[in-house]
Amino acid sequence: MYEIPLITADNFITYALNGLSRGMIIFLVASGLSLIFGLIGLINFAHGSMLALGGYGTYIVIQATGNFWLGLIVSVVLVTLLGFALERKLLYWIYDEPLLGFLGTFGIGLVIEEAIAVYFGSRSYTVSSPLPESVQVLGVSYPSYRLFVILVGALVALGIGALLTKTRLGLEIHATANRQSTAEILGVDTARIYTITFVLGTGLAALAGALTAPITSMYPTIGLDYITMAFLVIIVGGMGSFKGSLVVSLIVGQIIAFGWLVLAPTYVRILIFAAAMVFILYKPRGFFGKPEVHE
Amino acid sequence: MSDTIADIRGFARGTARRPLLALGVLLVLAVPFLFPSQSDLATEALIFGLFAISVDIALGYAGLLTLAPAAFFGLGSYTVAKIVVDYDMSFWLGFPVAIVLALLLAFAVGYIPIKRRIGHVYFVLFTLAFGAIVYDFTFVTTSLTGGSDGLGFFSPPDLFGIDLGAQTPYYYFTLLLVAVVGFGTYVLIKSDYGDVLHATRQNELRMRYLGYDTNRELMIAWLISAGISAFAGAMYVGSVGIASPSDVSFALTGDVIIWIIVGGTGTLLGPFAAAIGLVFTQEILQSVWLEGYRMLLGILFVVFVFVLPDGLMGLIRGDE
């Protein structure tokens, strides 16, 4: 029914790189969600609004100073602080109740999204790319900003992977996720571990929001679209599995980048969601999931 | 402070209960005369109240937190619109077809999750994916659903010589149906079946040892919830005259969850009253501060989740 259009080798490389940069943004969102879910068991529905805040924060700073990099840093730092305050002051109280946790973060996300809509209106905003020039990659000319996004994603993946596997903190996170009470007895300050994980996850969402601003336009509910996708990524990858969210994010990025050649983009989304539903039913721990935070 | 609350609580539960109820019924009956220009809004409020009741059956009584109630509501409104607009058949045919389709879809979607006992968290994510699929589907299948234009416009037919397309008759029509279905739900929940559901939530294992097929009980609640959601959707499309993607949107799902939490999960009356109250509050606030209304609603919701998770009905009933 559909004919697969012929694509040249150049197009192929461009699509693959597009998919890679897209996948890296999804990965930043999904890995934060996955950390928070894997450790705390919280369905953090406010995660998407943190991404939106990261993007809009960057926009505000750019309007004021004209500097994207400053905007990126300032918005990530501020949103991370907000995540810290939220965790300490509110969410901390409802960790034992998964349903209340979902409802509470859903409400917080709604308030933040609507606050953005009040301030900016519902129209979408774009940010011009801070690295407008293109470079030659594998024989094709490709925007250097997207390469920068791929680089940041790779660095974050390496950094967090090392943090989880090579450091004392990573060990304590694993221990807390596995057996919270045992970890506590052995001297791990689990409340602190919860806070650190939540704040780290929130920071990653804000980073994703700031990085995506020059690529896609921003609208108040941008976060909802991203976290719906990210939730399904972490299900397929395995809840709490860092490696799983990386691999599946990159696969999903490629599926989105190439899928529209054969199917309308919305059908591609529907297929991804349907696949995730099958996974929830038959393989709820996904490809890489173990009942613990896993590298 | 707590004395005042106790006073109000005693007042609402004790002597004033019947007069308050009678006053409520009178007010509902008199709306088209007292506020003639608000009949449409009142109709909408009643329908959303019924929608909140239907979702409360799943969430409050069966413990199934679903993020796809709007999918069933939208199925109801699209089915009626499709039958009237595209197939040019009777408005009344739309209602049974909508309910049957919703039951079939709910069975297909809910069978495996309920049978396999996926946890709360997975059920939330499962229905999130399902709701997203239905929403996307509504947009892309333009020939079936009209895409972003939706399916419209039409008005309900005459019934016994009364033009249901007019505001006031449709209000009373809605009121009658909502009262019948709402009361039916109340009777059902107060029946043995309601007790079984309640006991299943308390201790499912024991109920299984007692010989109850708890999967079946949950499935029945899930089906009833979906069927009434679709029924509410069908009535809604009769009132607004067009089925549009907002009927299946996540925003509507969010609204219904807010109504239930604010009203009090598992109380039927609470979500019903909260939906009506918040629809009217929305109308008033929108004229004052259009952009900020949903933010205020969100703040109200957060306060309820963290401070009063039992909702308004929980406040009135106290700790029983």
Residue A49 C-alpha, separation from nearest chain B C-alpha, in angstroms: 13
A180 phi and psi angles, rounded to 5 deg: -60, -45
DSSP 8-state secondary structure symbol assigned to residue A96: T
CB contact under 8 A, A117 and B301: no
Is B141 an 8 Å CB contact of chain A? no
Q: How far is CA B119 from CA A75, A93, B216, in A?
A: 36, 21, 17
Q: What distance in Å separates the CA atoms of residue B53 and residue B266, rounded to the nearest whole number?
A: 9
User: Which residue's structure tokens are 């900016």?
Assistant: A120
CB spacing of B291 vs A118 below 8 angstroms: yes
Among B residues 107-126, those touching chain A with beta carbons less than 8 Å apart: 112-113, 116, 118, 120-122, 124-126
For residue A137, the tally of other CB atoms under 10 A from its CB is 15
Q: Is the ipTM of this complex over 0.85?
A: no
What is the DSSP track for B6-62?
A: HHHHHHHHTTTHHHHHHHHHHHHHHHHHH-GGGHHHHHHHHHHHHHHHHHHIIIIIS
Give pLDDT tens digits for B220-261: 999 999 999 999 999 998 888 888 888 888 889 989 999 999
Residue of A nearest to B257 (CA): A103
Summarised one tens digit per residue, pLDDT across range A205-249 is 999 999 998 888 888 888 888 888 888 888 888 877 888 889 989
pLDDT at res. A294 = 36
Residue A241 bridge partners (DSSP)? A294
What is the predicted pLDDT for the residue at A260? 76
Contact pairs from chain A to chain B, CB under 8 Å? 103
Is A176 or B231 the better-scoring residue by pLDDT?
Answer: B231
Name the most confidently modeled range: A105-109, B164-168, B207-211, B292-296: A105-109
pLDDT at B11 over 70: no
- B113 to A267: CB separation less than 8 angstroms, yes or no: no
* pLDDT higher than 90, residue B72: yes
- Interface check for A99 against chain B (CB to CB < 8 A): the answer is yes
Q: For residue A270, which residues of chain B lie inside 8 Å, CB to CB? A: 133, 136-137, 140
Contact A277 B126 (CB under 8 A): yes
Chain A residues close to B113, C-beta within 8 Å: 280-281
Q: State residue A3's pLDDT score.
A: 56
Cis peptide before A84 (omega within 30 of 0): no
pTM of the model: 0.86
CB contact under 8 Å between B113 and A280, yes or no, is yes
Question: For residue range A118-128, what is the model confidence (pLDDT) as tens digits?
Answer: 888 878 888 88
Q: From chain B, pick out residues whose CB is under 8 angstroms from the CB of A273.
A: 129-130, 132-133, 136
> Shortest CB distance from B118 goes to which of A107, A108, A280?
A280
Q: What is the pLDDT of residues A248-291, one digit of tens each?
A: 899 988 888 888 777 777 888 888 888 888 888 887 777 776 55
Contacting residues of A for B295, CB less than 8 Å apart? 111, 114-115, 117-118
Closest-CA distance, B175 to chain A, in angstroms, reads 31
